[in-house]
Structures are given as structure tokens and as C-alpha cells.
Structure 1
């Protein structure tokens, strides 16, 4: 098996750095009101990774902030303790702690992974015009319909690993 590619990124001040293994499971642009509020922008670009494929490489450890979401479920936002830039999130509703949603703008090269899908377009800014060749969903998307088999398999394996007992539990 060939070595998988790695990509690096970090916060604005450079205190928190990370490395990811492989390309994202999926990258989407989220237009929900919560992502608009959290980013101060029209949408967030999120790259999904298996939690065990994301490694913090800096001595400075990120902080985790728990916030609600539009569904009422919990979201854990991982931020730099100095500059407070959000680096990734984990959502209780969508795969829980098995998956980390990397803020694509924090990659050293944020151009690498353009959105493969636009979600929550029902609340996108009315002045925004999307490329019609990129799939869109008014709410969340149907994974079975839009994801590749490889992406579905990666998510399933991540969910299985997350259910395994940890450290003698």
C-alpha cells in the first residue's frame, strides 16, 4: 500500500499546528446560519477527516469550546488558546467524535480542497450565486446519494473505531 499524502495547517498566530493524513473524506461549503455566525462570513468550508487522521504537531495544545447547533445537538469547536481561531469541530449529530471537521481555510494551502457540495442552501445569503455544477442541498445531504464509495467506507470505519473500547475500558 502506498504512503498516503499528508497536509499541514494551523491557526493565524502559528501557536497551534496540525497534520492530516490523506485527502478529506469530503469537503463541503456549509451555508447554515450557525456557520455564518461562527465564521463571520457567508459560509464555512469544511473538510471532513477521521479523528485518528488528525494530529496536533505543536507544543501548544488547542482548547475545546462546547456550543449548541441549530439542531440543538452539541458541537465541540477546537480553537487556538491564543488567537482563538477555530481549527476544527466535532458534531454530536454527525458522526460525533469519530470525525473532525477541519476549517479548510486553516490549511497551509487552503486551495487544495474545493467544496464538493453546498449544504444548507435554504439559509445561504441571497446575494451569493453558486456554480450549478457543484451539487447543492437545502439542508444536509444524503451521503448514499452524493458520496463516493471510498468516502462512505472511510466514514463507516471511523465510526466503528470510535465505538471500540479505549485504554482498558
Structure 2
């Protein structure tokens, strides 16, 4: 059974990429938060029972090789998402959702070379999870989305505020 590092800071940077290795990337720091999403959209898009995404600032993801193709994809919100895919093997590497825009990447944890280092911080949209998926009792789980102030660590909230301040247009 894979082991999760007790001090995740020790493992960074983490590298990942697609199956054919045409696109490679590196996470320069721990993510803001890791979602295990059980919504029907994620089930359909992943072809699995859930999607595991590490939310991280785009400027903390370094492209090492290749250039992913951004594919506009519908979403439950109606605002869509852009999925970064390898142009050769078509593996989804990360998404940018309309709400967060290009400044936040939802990196597919399974594309990391060592995905064991990023277990979910929370299970979301569990109201539509597959009934045979058993959720661990020690990880928060919510029926839909959640209030980040209740679940995110203080450091992640501060990083988010700094990112939003940097992305905001200057006031007149």
C-alpha cells in the first residue's frame, strides 16, 4: 500500500505529465487544497467514479516540456472549463474553471509521477457519489460544494487572497 509523506513540504517540487511524456510539468509547492469530486460531470469526464484535483496557483506550475492544448469543455455551472490536454496522447493534465480563471489550475493528481503524496483534503459532491465508493471517516466529506473558510488551512487562504490581489485590476 502506498504511503503518504507525513510532511508533504519535503516532497516538493513534484513532477508529472502525460502518458507519452510529450508534456511534463512540475508543482513548485504544495497545492492550495486537494478535492476528490464525486459529481456526475467529473465521473463522465474522467470515465471513473470521481476526479482527484489539486488546486494550485498557475504560477506555481512550471511547464518542463511540450505545450498542452486547451480544450473548451462544458461544465455543470454552464460556464465551462478549459482542460489542458497533451496534443499527442490526449491525457487531461489540469483544468481551469471559469470561476477561478487562468490563475488557478486544478491539476489531475493521477498525472503526477508520485500521486501518493496528494491524498484528498475533502470529498465533494458526495450526494452523487457511486454507492459502492466508501469514504474514509477521517477526511471531510460534503454533499455538494463547501465553504473554504471552514476547511482550508490558513496558509492556503492567505495564498488565495494574495493571488486574487495580484490578479485584480488596479483601482482608479
TM over 0.5: same fold?
Answer: yes
1:125-167 deviation per Cα after TM superposition (whole angstroms, max 9, x unaligned): 01111112110111111100011110111111122222358xx
Alignment partner of 1:26 is 2:40: no
Structure 2: segments with no counterpart, 5+ residues = 1-9
Deviation beyond 6 Å, 4+ runs, structure 1: none
Q: Report SS of the residue matched to 2:163.
A: helix
Alignment partner of 1:129 is 2:134: yes
Name the Cα RMSD after superposition: 1.6
Contact 1:4 1:21 in 2 (8 A): no
Alignment partner of 1:101 is 2:106: yes
- Cα distance between partner residues in 2 of 1:161 and 1:78: 23
TM-score (norm 2): 0.89
Alignment partner of 1:83 is 2:118: no
Q: Report SS of the residue matched to 1:77.
A: strand
Alignment partner of 1:52 is 2:68: no
- CA apart distance, 1:4: 9.4
- Cα distance between partner residues in 1 of 2:12 and 2:157: 19
- Cα distance between partner residues in 2 of 1:84 and 1:162: 30
Contact 1:98 1:161 in 2 (8 A): no
Q: How many residues are paired up?
A: 161
- Cα distance between partner residues in 2 of 1:56 and 1:164: 26
Structure 1: segments with no counterpart, 5+ residues = none
